[in-house]
Structure 1
Amino acid sequence: MLLALFAFQSGGADPRIGSWTLVSAQSTVTPANKLSITTEPTGTHVVMTGETHLDFTASTNGKPAPAPGNLGFNQIELHRVSKKEAEVREKKDGAPVAAVREKLSNDGAVLTSTTTSTGHTPVITVWTRTGGTKDPKDPFAGEWTQDLGKTRMQQGSSLKIEADGSGGVRFSSDYTYTARLDGKPYDMKGGRNDTVALALTDPRTVDATYRRDNQVSQKDRWQVSADGLQMTLTSTATLESGQHVTEKLVFKKQ
């Protein structure tokens, strides 16, 4: 019986093979990522906590301001493009690092940030207003919490999983790997994890266990519908920040 089970797990085909597009996302991170924007006599004070930490104060006139203690940059420029749009330019010793375009919804309840940097795909983050008094002079001011589900949908996600010709699969998304369904760890490129181990638990379900620094950091369950046209990913993960992420993502086959 055990031999038969092993043969099933290691010899079955990966039901995820194909190209997939994200169509719905239910995602939470605990504690939540927070953004605080306040107006002070010296300028706009911005503090971000959670997976990313930053703290700076700058005038909206676009003049460079020092931003010590921030990872990756030590200068900041804040440009007010319009009443509902602004741009933050991060620099390291005068050299550009990244640009963040901030755009408010018409009702001022949602803030969408798009971060661009050389050699990287733009990153979209969606924030919802969760506190603070609205300031008619600065509609960006307030307390904001990241909506991870809306962030996933705005960012968009597509997956391509194909047979590698030697009994394994090549997985391509914002991270990549080539692995077999044998429960053994395989190296990953990109993303926040080091290795992945795959197991076929039934003909339509693949379990994935990820490790970072030799510790289990994430567990995924991929379930493909009977008609093969829909795939549901249920995921739990621990970030390097110590935050916990739970997600249920649904993909449609292209």
Structure 2
Amino acid sequence: MLALFVLILSGAVNAQQDPRIGSWTLVSAQSALDPANKLSVKSDHGEVHVVMSGESHFDFTAKGNGHESPAPGNLGFNQIELHRIDKKQVEVKEKKDGALVATVRNKLSADGNELTITTSSTAAGKGPANQITVWTRSGGAKVANDLLAGEWTQDESKTRMRQGLALKIEADGGGEVRFSGDFSYSARFDGKQYDLKNSRNDTVTLQLVDAHTVDAMYRRDNQITQKDRWVVSGDGKQMTLTTTGTLETGQRVTEKLLFQKQ
């Protein structure tokens, strides 16, 4: 009984000492994919052929008149509607068996060398409401009839991911820490694996490194897929998350996110 009491007390102390406890809002994020995403846009006789390679893979051809076009062989959608707003803006609707799953807005910079893509997902569990990626022209001359045509490389230094992400981390009084964000879990600092909810990973293991630092290790199919280090500033007002992991495609990704305490 004494040993059990000591174990429970230790778990409770660890939870109370978690420097992350509180409510946090994302203020900036940087992401680096290895290798970077590549985008090819080709225009010919009123049709546009778009190919993306890297973290995301898709390939489709569509007319720019807003009419629905088949897009077989793509993960997540099989129909496309492409509507040209003007020479520098295009809106794409991705559909799955007739149901809208995402709206993608493409906007070209004034000099035609930078492309900003904003994706709004309507499918549950498919990520944040808005994901913004920024692309730099890496090939293909600008042409008057289609300024978006060319070869593009994702600019990781300007890509903003997980827009509006908010976290809440709290001790539950029973020795566990409850984490709520784009996924959730309850866990102790005991080296054991705890189940995740709404995550591409299966479990998480927590380690309290020091008074300001927490390490988290994530597994999927019993393989380590992601490692996080959370560091809280000395005044407790800012928290930096550095995460490295492997996507389902096998591609490596590194992210650095800065949070501000609410």
Normalising by structure 1, report the TM-score.
0.88
From 216, 225, 232, the counterpart of 2:224: 216
From 33, 54, 71, the counterpart of 1:29: 33
Query: Is the Cα–Cα contact under 8 Å of residues 30 and 159 in structure 2 kept in the other structure?
Result: no
* In structure 1, distance between residues paired with 2:161 and 2:110: 19
Number of residue-to-residue matches in the alignment: 249
Matches within 5 A, 1:38-77: 38-41=42-45, 43-77=47-81
Query: Is the Cα–Cα contact under 8 Å of residues 232 and 239 in structure 2 kept in the other structure?
Result: yes
Normalising by structure 2, report the TM-score.
0.86
Distance 1:38 1:56, change over 3 A: same
Specify the SS of the correspondent of 2:72. Answer: coil
Instruction: Kindly provide the CA deviation profile for residues 150-196 of structure 1, in whole angstroms up to 9, marking residues without a partner as x.
Output: 33357232221112221112112211111112121111112321111
Tell whether 2:132 aligns with 1:128: no
1:115 corresponds to? 120
Query: Is the Cα–Cα contact under 8 Å of residues 11 and 188 in structure 2 kept in the other structure?
Result: no
Any stretches of 5+ residues in structure 2 without a counterpart? 1-8
* In structure 2, distance between residues paired with 1:154 and 1:190: 15
Any stretches of 5+ residues in structure 1 without a counterpart? 1-6
Distance 1:174 1:125, change over 3 A: same
Identity of aligned residues (%): 61
Query: Is the Cα–Cα contact under 8 Å of residues 177 and 186 in structure 2 kept in the other structure?
Result: yes
- 1:42 Cα offset (Å): 5.7
Instruction: Kindly provide the CA deviation profile for residues 70-119 of structure 1, in whole angstroms up to 9, marking residues without a partner as x.
Output: 12322211111222222112223333333222222333313222223154
Distance 1:93 1:232, change over 3 A: closer
1:234 corresponds to? 242
* In structure 2, distance between residues paired with 1:96 and 1:24: 29
Query: Is the Cα–Cα contact under 8 Å of residues 137 and 152 in structure 2 kept in the other structure?
Result: yes
Specify the SS of the correspondent of 1:62. Answer: strand
Segments ≥4 residues shifted beyond 6 Å: 7-10
From 175, 178, 189, the counterpart of 1:181: 189
Query: Is the Cα–Cα contact under 8 Å of residues 237 and 244 in structure 1 kept in the other structure?
Result: yes
Specify the SS of the correspondent of 2:66. Answer: coil
From 138, 148, 158, the counterpart of 1:150: 158
Letter in structure 2 aligned against 1:116 = S
Q: CA RMSD in A?
A: 2.3
